[in-house]
């Protein structure tokens, strides 16, 4: 079902509240001060049953200039406005300011209601109607119905109600499939129930029992109960005014301006990037870093305007700006906002939020402004790609990406998969959650590793590769998990950028090339260990006879790196052939005899106790054997 919110707007004492009472039979001024002074101070709420059978929510806003803050808290979520103008006075200052606010908030539909028509004659009304047509030419109210009514006599009410019904039929449905969001406009406590908040659900659905989060405090709570138009309901959805009873939350933990929403969906921010339109009615240009009042949802925040693409903004001009706030905002992309001057207060600008969690930006940064244009375009694929290109270093999953997008985006995994299929982004699945990176991020890391390895191979020509852990620390830092790092390396190997070994990495086409002298030295070292079989020489005994100790170490290390020599313990090194044979020998012996002791191993390998014990302890460490008292058995048989 499509839900409609109707709001009033207009100058003080033009009969907005009286009109609502005449339409619904209900009084929206509930404060004693409002009744004593005869003016609306706070927002008023009720409902209106239309002839079509639909029920619309009604928001009555105060008209006095001192209460514009309250007016903005209510008008931000309406679908249709009843712009109320007293027939005996016509357009007044707050009529114009309220209308400017409606335009800045992108309200599309409205009806002009001439109240107090019983106080003037027909000719006067026709003259006022002509003035109104001229006043609103070129705006969303250019062709709006104009109804002259009297709340006292009910003159003109039949036609007004009929047009309200027709106008609401054309209102587009709200985003009921998006993430639940409710900007809070009232908070109070009910005895026996606890804290209750009210507001208009601007997207998504909520049901009793749901867990929700309060922003910016990030207090997590549960929905204990829901009321819509004074009746208990099991759920509410976008376009409905709603009262929600929240469990285990104090009045001090929530207030007007806060947002109740889905868990972990928004990131409160002190900076937002926006488009800004500066009203033609402004008296002087908007200058950089001017202090202003921002109105978003039901919140008011003091901030400074950093103009990103102009020196200053002249009346009637638009610009890209960054609003730097004095308290955090809870926004999403495409939200509308209004700006009023700091002092004296009057409406001067408004626009659309492009980036609700912005990084501090420098003025006249062409790349930054180009990114804003991509986000402003609203094309999901472009925005997703742009977001991923910035987030890749955080290795985000879909929930992190969604938060960074700053807007409701259903089916995010499907949209990400489309970009994966188009080879624009890459999906990593080695963890318990799927993460995504942009292809340019992988390319950048390949280039960094290639540069690192070129230098490493130049300085270490006889080493098979650079240690994996060293590459990880230098290129990726501590922000990457081991499984993700391993998968990144595999992607690079698939692209013929690198070659992966157990503990090291080299350039894909790298081969160790020995000089003639180094080749001779290599062969002599292998021959010495081959001759020793299981009674091999010590490193120092071989090195002492060499004049070039540095070259000897380099060649020796290369044999170790390439596993042509295998180290099982200090000064216990064997050729690869003899090492592999030792495994076969010990396995066969244990299979035939049940176990092997160190003393027996000495005879089997024709070696000293030192080498026999070193081999057996090494086999224990790799879980080939297991020690049982003084003997070894095969690990898999133990």
For residue 638, pLDDT beyond 60: no
Segment among 59-73, 349-363, 549-563 with least mean pLDDT? 59-73
For residue 32, pLDDT beyond 50: no
Q: Are 68 and 347 in contact (CB under 8 A)?
A: yes
Closest CA to 60 of 194, 163, 151: 151
Q: Tell me what the mean pLDDT of segment 62-84 comes to.
A: 73
Beta bridge partners of 181: 203, 261
Mean pLDDT (the chain, rounded): 88
Q: Tell me what the mean pLDDT of segment 157-173 comes to.
A: 89
| pLDDT single digits (tens) 271-314 | 999 999 999 999 899 999 999 999 998 899 999 999 999 999 99
Segment among 259-263, 549-553, 589-593 with least mean pLDDT? 549-553
Peptide bond into 211 cis (omega under 30): no
Closest CA to 232 of 219, 222, 242, 246: 242
The secondary structure of residue 1, as a DSSP letter, is -
Domain range list for the chain: 5-169, 181-261, 269-371, 379-513, 516-637
Q: CATH number of the domain at 181-261, out of 2.40.30.10, 3.40.50.720, 1.10.357.10, 3.90.650.10?
A: 2.40.30.10
| pLDDT single digits (tens) 403-448 | 777 666 667 788 888 888 888 899 998 778 899 999 999 999 999 9
Q: What pLDDT does 39 receive?
A: 40
Which CATH superfamily is 269-371 part of? Answer: Translation factors (2.40.30.10)
CA distances to 10, 58, 490, 573 from 621, rounded to whole Å, are 84, 76, 28, 16
Is the whole-model pTM more than 0.85?
Answer: no
10 by DSSP, 3-state: which?
A: coil
| pLDDT single digits (tens) 434-489 | 999 999 999 999 999 999 999 999 998 888 899 999 999 999 988 899 999 999 99
Q: What pLDDT does 62 receive?
A: 63
The secondary structure of residue 472, as a DSSP letter, is I
Between 430 and 235, the higher pLDDT residue: 235
533 φ/ψ sector (left φ>0, alpha ψ -120 to 50, else beta) = left
Domains 181-261 and 269-371 share a fold: yes
For residue 67, pLDDT beyond 70: no
Q: What pLDDT does 432 receive?
A: 80
434: number of Cβ within 10 Å: 15
Q: What pLDDT does 620 receive?
A: 93
| pLDDT single digits (tens) 495-522 | 999 999 888 999 998 988 888 988 898 9
Residue range 379-513, CATH number: 1.10.10.10
Residues in Cβ contact with 207 at an 8 Å cutoff, skipping those fewer than 6 apart: 223, 226, 234, 235, 236
Q: What pLDDT does 550 receive?
A: 84
CA distances to 260, 527, 536 from 573, rounded to whole Å, are 67, 13, 7
Distance CA 558, CA 91 (A): 90
Sign of CA dihedral 390, 396, 397, 402: negative
Q: Which two tokens stand for residue 267?
A: 């990131």
Sign of CA dihedral 257, 258, 264, 269: positive
The CATH-assigned architecture of domain 516-637 is: Orthogonal Bundle (1.10)
Name the class of domain 5-169: alpha beta
């Amino acid at each position: 079902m499509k839900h409609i919110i109707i709001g009033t707007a207009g100058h003080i004492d033009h009969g907005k509240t009286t009109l609502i009472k005449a339409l619904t039979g209900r009084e929206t001024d509930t404060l004693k001060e409002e009744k004593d002074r005869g003016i609306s101070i706070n927002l008023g709420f009720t409902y209106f049953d239309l002839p079509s059978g639909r029920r619309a929510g009604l928001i009555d806003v105060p008209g006095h200039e001192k209460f514009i803050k309250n007016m903005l808290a209510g008008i931000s979520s309406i679908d249709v406005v009843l712009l109320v103008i007293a027939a005996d006075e016509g357009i007044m200052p707050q009529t114009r300011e309220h209308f400017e606010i409606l335009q800045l908030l992108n309200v599309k539909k409205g009806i002009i209601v001439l109240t107090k028509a019983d106080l003037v004659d027909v000719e006067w009304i026709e003259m006022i109607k002509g003035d109104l047509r001229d006043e609103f030419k070129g705006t969303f109210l250019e062709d709006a119905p104009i109804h002259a009514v009297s709340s006292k006599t009910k003159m003109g009410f039949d036609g007004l109600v009929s047009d309200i019904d027709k106008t609401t039929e054309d209102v587009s449905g709200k985003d009921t499939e998006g993430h639940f969001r409710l900007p809070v406009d009232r908070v109070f406590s009910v005895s026996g129930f606890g804290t209750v908040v009210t507001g208009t659900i601007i997207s998504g659905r909520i049901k009793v029992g749901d867990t929700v989060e309060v922003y910016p405090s990030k207090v997590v709570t549960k929905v204990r109960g829901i009321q819509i138009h004074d009746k208990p309901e099991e759920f509410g959805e976008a376009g409905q005014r709603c009262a929600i009873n929240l469990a285990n939350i104090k009045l001090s933990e929530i207030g007007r301006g806060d947002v109740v929403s889905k868990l972990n969906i928004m990131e409160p921010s002190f900076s937002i990037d926006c488009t800004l339109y500066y009203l033609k009615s402004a008296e002087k240009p908007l200058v950089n870093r001017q202090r202003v009042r921002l109105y978003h949802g039901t919140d008011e925040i003091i901030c400074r305007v950093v103009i990103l693409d102009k020196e200053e903004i002249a009346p009637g001009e638009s610009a890209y700006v960054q609003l730097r706030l004095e308290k955090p905002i809870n926004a999403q992309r495409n939200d509308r906002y209004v700006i009023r001057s700091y002092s004296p207060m009057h409406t001067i600008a408004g626009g659309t939020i492009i980036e609700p969690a912005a990084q501090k930006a420098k003025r006249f940064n062409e790349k930054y402004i180009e990114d804003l244009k991509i986000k402003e375009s609203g094309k999901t694929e472009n925005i997703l790609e742009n977001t991923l290109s910035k987030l890749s270093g955080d290795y985000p999953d879909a929930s992190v990406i969604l938060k960074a997008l700053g807007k409701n985006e259903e089916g995010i995994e499907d949209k990400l998969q489309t970009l994966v299929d188009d080879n624009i982004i890459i999906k990593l699945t080695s963890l318990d959650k799927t993460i995504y990176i942009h292809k340019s991020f992988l390319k950048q890391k390949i280039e960094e590793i290639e540069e690192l390895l070129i230098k490493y191979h130049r300085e270490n020509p006889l080493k098979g590769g650079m240690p994996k852990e060293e590459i990880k620390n230098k290129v990726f830092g501590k922000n990457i998990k081991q499984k993700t790092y391993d998968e990144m390396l595999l992607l690079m190997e698939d692209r013929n950028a690198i070659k992966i070994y157990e503990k090291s990495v080299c350039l894909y086409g790298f081969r160790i090339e020995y000089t003639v002298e180094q080749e001779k030295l290599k062969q002599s070292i292998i021959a010495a260990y081959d001759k020793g079989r299981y009674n091999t020489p010590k490193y120092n005994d071989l090195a002492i006879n060499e004049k070039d100790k540095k070259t000897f170490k380099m060649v020796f290390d290369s044999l170790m790196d390439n596993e042509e020599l295998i180290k099982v313990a200090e000064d216990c090194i064997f050729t690869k052939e003899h090492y592999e044979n030792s495994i076969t020998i010990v396995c066969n012996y244990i299979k035939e005899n049940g176990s092997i002791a160190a003393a027996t191993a000495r005879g089997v390998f024709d070696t000293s106790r030192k080498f026999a014990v070193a081999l057996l302890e090494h086999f224990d460490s790799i879980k080939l054997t297991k020690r049982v008292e003084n003997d070894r058995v095969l690990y898999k048989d133990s």
